[in-house]
Amino acid sequence: MKQVSIIGAGAWGSAIASVLAHNGYTVHLWCHDEETKKNIATTRTNPLYLPNISFAESIMPTTDFKDITNSSWIFEAIPIKYLRHVMLQAKSWARPGQHWVVLSKGLEIGTNMFPSEIINSTFGFEACSFAVTGPSYAQELVNRKLTGLLVASYDKKKGEDLQAMLDNDYVKTFHSHDVMGAQAAAAIKNVLAVAIGILDGMDCAANTKALFFVAAVEEMKIFIKASDGDSHTVGSLAGMGDLILTTFGGLSRNAEIGKRIGRSEVLEDIFNDHETSEGINSIKAIYEIIQAKNLEMPLCKAVYDILFNHKPKEIILQII
Question: Is-contact 316 199, C-beta < 8 A?
Answer: yes
The 8-class DSSP code of residue 318 comes to G
For residue 27, the surrounding DSSP H or E stretch is: strand 25-30
| Mean pLDDT confidence for 145-159 | 97
Task: Convert 65-104 into a string of H (helix), E (strand) and C (coil).
Answer: HHHHCCCCEEEECCCHHHHHHHHHHHHHHCCCCCEEEECC
Look at strands 25-30 and 59-62 and give their pairing.
Answer: parallel
Give the per-residue pLDDT at 277.
72
For the chain, give every residue range classified as CATH 1.10.1040.10. 181-318
| Mean pLDDT confidence for 150-166 | 98
| Mean pLDDT confidence for 144-171 | 98
Query: In which band, very low, low, confident or very high, does the pLDDT at 275 lie, cut at 50, 70 and 90?
Result: low
Percentage of residues in the chain having pLDDT higher than 90: 92
Q: If you average pLDDT over each of 36-40, 92-96, 273-277, which comes out highest?
A: 36-40
pLDDT at 1 over 60: no
CATH class of 181-318: mainly alpha
Question: Is-contact 159 216, C-beta < 8 A?
Answer: no
| Mean pLDDT confidence for 11-30 | 98
Question: Is-contact 54 45, C-beta < 8 A?
Answer: yes
> Which CATH fold topology does 2-177 show?
Rossmann fold (3.40.50)
| Mean pLDDT confidence for 283-302 | 97
pLDDT at 144 over 90: yes
Give the per-residue pLDDT at 80.
93
pLDDT at 110 over 50: yes
Query: Which has the minimum average pLDDT: 66-75, 154-163, 284-293?
Result: 66-75
Query: Which tens digits make up the pLDDT trace of 191-226?
Result: 999 999 999 999 999 999 999 999 999 999 999 999
Give the per-residue pLDDT at 278.
75
Percentage of residues in the chain having pLDDT higher than 70: 98
Give the per-residue pLDDT at 274.
47
pLDDT at 279 over 90: no
Query: Which has the minimum average pLDDT: 8-12, 20-24, 74-78, 253-257?
Result: 253-257
**How would you class 172 by CB atoms within 10 Å of its CB: exposed for 0-12, middle for 13-18, buried for 19 or more?**
middle
Catalytic residues: 189
Query: Which tens digits make up the pLDDT trace of 65-81?
Result: 999 888 999 999 999 99
Query: In which band, very low, low, confident or very high, does the pLDDT at 320 lie, cut at 50, 70 and 90?
Result: confident
pLDDT at 269 over 90: no
For the chain, give every residue range classified as CATH 3.40.50.720. 2-177
Look at strands 128-133 and 147-153 and give their pairing.
Answer: antiparallel
Average pLDDT, the chain: 95
pLDDT at 229 over 80: yes
Query: Which tens digits make up the pLDDT trace of 29-46?
Result: 999 999 999 999 999 999
Give the per-residue pLDDT at 134.
98
